[in-house]
Amino acid sequence: MITSAAHIPVLIDEVIAAVAPAPGKRIADGTFGAGGYTAALLEAGARVYAFDRDPNAIARGAAMVMAHGEALSLHQRRFSQMADELTALGVPSLDAVVLDIGVSSMQLDQATRGFSFQQDGPLDMRMSADGESAAQFLNTADEAAIADVLYEYGEERQSRRVARAIVAARPLETTGDLARVVRRALGHRPHDKKDPATRSFQAVRIHVNDELGELRAGLAAAEALLREGGVLAVVSFHSLEDRIVKRFLREASGAGRAVSRHLPGEVPGPAPTFARLSKAIRPSAAEVERNPRSRSSVLRHATRTAAPARSIEERI
C-alpha cells in the first residue's frame, strides 16, 4: 500500500476494504491531507477527486497530479462543497466517498500553523488561509462565549475557570501563551498522563474551523453524490465527531424509527438512503503501536440505497 512518508493514513486497509476501489470507479477523497488515502485509491485503479481546504495540502499534491494525470484532480474546496463542485464538472455521481475528519498530522507537526502546543508557534489553527484565527477569537470574544466553546467542543468541565484565565491574560499571541494559561488555570504536573491544555486546543480548533458544521454538511453532500451501491467511509477521532457520524447513518438508514400502522394519518419518514451500516471499527494493537495517533480513531461505513437524497427538512 502506497503511503506518504510524512503521514501514516489511519485504518487505511479497513477503509480500502470498505470502498473496494477498482478501475472505472469514481471516488472522492474529501480530506486529501498528505495524500495517503488518495494514493491507495489510485493504486487500485480508481479515478479520484480529492478535496482539501488547506492550500498547503493542495500545493504538496501537485506532484501526485502530474504523476497520475487524468486519474486524479485536486480541488481547493471544503468537502462540504464537493457536490456543487463535481456537479459543475459534469460528475453526477460517485462510487465512494472517503472522509478522514479533523486536523492532519502534517498540520499538527508544522509549528507555524499553530495547531499544537508541542512546539511554540503563532496562535492560528486555521485549516485554510482565511477567516478568524484562534488568536483573534480568544483575544476578542467575551468570557462566556469562550467558556461555551471550551465546554461544547472540548468537553472541558472547568471551562469557566479557563475562560476567565484566558481573558485575564490577554493578549495571547502564541500556542505557548495559551498552553501556559490553561495549565496554570487547571494545575499541571509534569508526570500527568494528559496535558490539561489538550481539551482547550481541540475546542478552539474545532470552533475556528467550524469542523462539526462542516462534517454535517459533508455527510449530506456525500448522500447527494453517491449512487446506489456506493459506499461512504468516515474516520473520526473523538466522540463529538463519531456521535455525528453515527447519528447521521442511523437516521439515514431508518434505524430506530418507529411508525405505527395503527395510527391513522401518521406520515412515514423518508425512505432509507443508507443500508448495511458497519459497527465501529477501531485500529489494531499493531497499528496503534506503529502509529500512536491512530489510537482514538473510529471508522464507520455504509452503503447507499436507491432512495433519493433527503431534503434539509427531512434531515432535521
Among 182, 209, 236, the domain boundary falls at 209
Q: Let me know if residue 4 belongs to a domain.
A: no
pLDDT tens, residue by residue, 81-122: 999 999 999 999 999 999 999 776 666 666 667 677 788 999
The arithmetic mean of pLDDT across residues 48-71, rounded, is 94
Cell, residue 173: 499571541
Domain count, the chain: 2
Is there a single domain that holds both residue 82 and residue 195?
no
Of 184, 209, 234, the residue that ends a domain is 209
The pTM assigned to this predicted structure is 0.90
Domain edge (last residue) among 167, 192, 209: 209
Same domain? 190 vs 231: no
Cα 124 from Cα 112, distance rounded (Å): 8
* Full strand arrangement of the beta sheet holding 94-100: 72-75, 47-51, 26-29, 94-100, 226-236, 298-304, 274-275
What's the domain range around 174?
Answer: 116-209
pLDDT tens, residue by residue, 237-270: 999 999 999 999 999 999 856 555 555 655 667 8
In this predicted structure, what is the pLDDT of residue 271? Answer: 93
How far does CA 68 lie from the centroid of its chain? 26
Of 71, 76, 10, 78, the closest CA to residue 46 belongs to 71
Distance between CA 56 and CA 129 in Å, rounded? 9
7-38 tens-digit pLDDT: 679 999 999 999 999 999 999 999 999 999 99
Question: Does a structural domain hold residue 2?
Answer: no
46 neighbors 231 (Cβ within 8 angstroms): no
Cell numbers at residue 161, please? Answer: 475557570
Residues 89 and 234 reside in one and the same domain: yes
> Could you tell me the CATH number of the domain that includes residue 174?
1.10.150.170
Find the CATH number of the domain harbouring 272. 3.40.50.150
Let me know whether 97 and 218 are in one domain: yes
Residues 155 and 133 in one domain: yes
- Kindly state the average pLDDT of the residues 292-302: 94
Position 109 scores a pLDDT of 60
